[in-house]
Amino acid sequence: MGSFRLTKMSLRNLGRKPATRPYPQQPARYTPRTKGHIVNNIELCILCSICQKRCPATALTVNKAQGTWTINPFSCVQCGTCVRVCPKKSLRMQPEYTAAAAQMHDCTLVKPEPALDGERSLGSERPQRSERLPGSERPQRKPRPERPSRIGC
């Protein structure tokens, strides 16, 4: 039985840098594998909706008719199941966490070319005007972001 058993370690701590970091004054540190948020390369996505069926948090909604893939990043629990089951490997997990926001919002990506028939090569041109049915509207285009960002989408 003795006393002051922890004093040596405490005094050593005085000489070292603190083990804690003042976040958010100093930015968070991530590893390459950190599960932060999901991004989708919409050009590769075939809107098969396997990811929606397998999501345990029901955070994904895929609408093949409208060509949209929606994720609610605040419902997502970053389990990575969607990334693993995606047949075209268009889904990826990025390290940064979703930023805090005052209101939950969805993040929707729109498939650039409407799926008219069969396969379509990636990044191909829009179909010719003559191929469209008369009177059909061009689908609304959301401005595509440069690269998926952390806030909103």
Catalog residues that contact other proteins under the rule CB under 8 A: 1-11, 13-14, 16, 18-22, 31, 33-35, 53-56, 77-81, 84, 93
Please name the residues in contact with 101: beta carbons below 8 A apart, sequence gap of 6 or more: 74, 151, 152
From 54, 102, 120, select the one nearest 82 (Cα to Cα).
Answer: 54
CA distances, 38 to each of 5, 82, 84, 94 (Å): 48, 9, 12, 6
Work out how close the CB of 52 gets to other proteins at its nearest, in angstroms, rounded to a whole number. Answer: 12
- Round to whole Å and give the CA distance between 22 and 38: 27
Work out how close the CB of 8 gets to other proteins at its nearest, in angstroms, rounded to a whole number. Answer: 7
Comparing CB distances to other proteins, the nearer of 2 and 143 is: 2
Work out how close the CB of 112 gets to other proteins at its nearest, in angstroms, rounded to a whole number. Answer: 30
Work out how close the CB of 144 gets to other proteins at its nearest, in angstroms, rounded to a whole number. Answer: 27
The dihedrals phi and psi of 103, each to the nearest 5 degrees, come to: -135, 145
Comparing CB distances to other proteins, the nearer of 11 and 65 is: 11
Comparing CB distances to other proteins, the nearer of 56 and 152 is: 56
Identify the bridge partners of residue 18 per DSSP, sorted by sequence position.
Answer: none
Comparing CB distances to other proteins, the nearer of 33 and 147 is: 33
Work out how close the CB of 3 gets to other proteins at its nearest, in angstroms, rounded to a whole number. Answer: 5
Comparing CB distances to other proteins, the nearer of 12 and 147 is: 12
Please name the residues in contact with 124: beta carbons below 8 A apart, sequence gap of 6 or more: 113
